[in-house]
Copies of this chain bind each other. A is one copy, B any other.
């Protein structure tokens, strides 16, 4: 995964056509295509319609021997902060395959998915995050290209003040709350937290 397809970019989900690059010579107007109901960016020159829909992030809370695997980000946004293995789903794969691929890319970790932990909505950046409960297949991992380091943390050792994104906090704490349950109904955003802000309360159980 490159910085272009980064996990939880806090800016717009992708550059607008007008911002496509320094050498860009794009001329898009925003209008409703024939037979459509919403305005879209349409190239004035060639008629290309740039449909933009929400993007899917797939990832997982990975545990081993009761410890939690976190990756310290080597890329922006939030370089140096800790995150879960997760990233943009690509064409041609399933959500489960994407979550396994991200663990391999970011942590060289072979994981086994258990079940669905949560679906988070971040409408501000048009992102849907699909997060699984997972386990390491072997106690073997290392930093992938996009990670500075990868580590297993005891719950009390998790660097709560250095988490990269609010949804990392959501996933860890929600995971912890159902750790002993073999079957769960998946979580959604914690109540009232639609805006991707960090929670003000401390992590429960810390």
B-binding residues in A (CB < 8 A): 1-5, 13-14, 17, 20-21, 23-26, 33, 35-38, 43, 45-56, 88-96, 115-116, 119, 121, 123, 126, 128, 130, 183-186, 188, 194
Q: Is the interface of A mostly helix, strand, loop or mixed?
A: loop
B contact residues around A119 at 8 Å (CB): 95, 116, 119, 130
Quick check: B92 and A121 within 8 Å, CB to CB?
no
Quick check: A43 and B56 within 8 Å, CB to CB?
no
Quick check: B52 and A91 within 8 Å, CB to CB?
yes
Quick check: B36 and A126 within 8 Å, CB to CB?
no
Contacts A47-B20, A119-B116; is A128 near B194 (CB within 8 Å)? no
Quick check: A88 and B53 within 8 Å, CB to CB?
yes
Q: From B24, B48, B128, give the contact of A21 (CB < 8 A).
A: B48
Q: From B35, B56, B92, B116, give the contact of A3 (CB < 8 A).
A: B35
Contacts A91-B54, A121-B94, A121-B95; is A46 near B25 (CB within 8 Å)? yes
